[in-house]
Amino acid sequence: MPPSGSNETNSYTLTVGLLEVQGAFLEHRVALQKAAQLLGNVDLRLMEIRTANHVTDELDGLVIPGGESTTISIYLKRNEMEEPLRRWIHNDRHVTWGTCAGMILLSKMTDNQKIGGQSTLAIMETEVSRNYFGRQVHSFESHIHLKEKELKDTIKNETYPGIFIRAPAIVKTLSPEVKILATLQKSDSEVIVAAQQGHVISTAFHPELTEDCSWHMYFLKTIIDIKKSK
């Protein structure tokens, strides 16, 4: 359910967990705190998620940061966190956002996946290409094009400065339930770099590495709209 842009008078206490295995989770913390202050109606509580015991109904939202998706996948498996996370994410009262490696982990399919290779949480009906844009030396910044009105209303622009670091991309959506949030023009085609399926969001780029916390505001607004609807 997309968030609605409005001047809220009600105050909301939101508890958001960050999967702190690797990646820019500290930058996500700063951006979320800034987003909550800008929204003005949010009392934000942030929690580190490192063990299965941390994955509880106390959480309203979860951020899966970037990093190395295989390393994160191995960590989740070794610490028996895969099933608790899947159950938590499948609950439609919870909002999940994966960035970069998080997009890979949330996807049901990855192209060129070896049998017995990296496992994913297999939540979103998407097929993702790992390292779609090349290796780390091919990292770049480029404006992405926003596709959803609610997102444009939050960001207050038609584009957003995307930072891509050894980034994936969605090469195929496997269900009409998957909504394309943003694309990147590459040669003569548009590449899907952000999508949403119900209460699950994924982005190929790193909004936490910019000064613009609009995507974090969108994430928090989505949680608020879920709370309002229940």
206 in active site? yes
User: Residue 101 in contact with residue 65, Cβ under 8 Å?
Assistant: yes
Question: pLDDT tens, position by position, for the chain (230 residues)?
Answer: 445 444 446 899 999 999 999 888 999 999 999 999 999 999 999 999 999 999 999 999 999 998 888 899 999 999 999 999 999 999 999 999 999 999 999 999 988 665 555 678 999 999 999 889 877 656 899 999 999 999 999 999 999 999 999 999 999 999 999 999 999 998 888 999 999 999 999 999 999 999 999 999 999 999 999 999 87
100 in active site? yes
Q: Which of 28, 94, 199, 206 is catalytic?
A: 206
208 in active site? yes
**DSSP per-residue codes, 88-146:** HHHSTT-EEEEETHHHHHHEEEETTPPTT-------EEEEEETTTT-SGGG-EEEEEEE
Write the CATH number of the domain with boundaries 12-229: 3.40.50.880
Q: Enter the tokens of residue 1.
A: 């359910």
Q: Which of 100, 150, 199, 216 is catalytic?
A: 100
pTM, two decimal places = 0.92
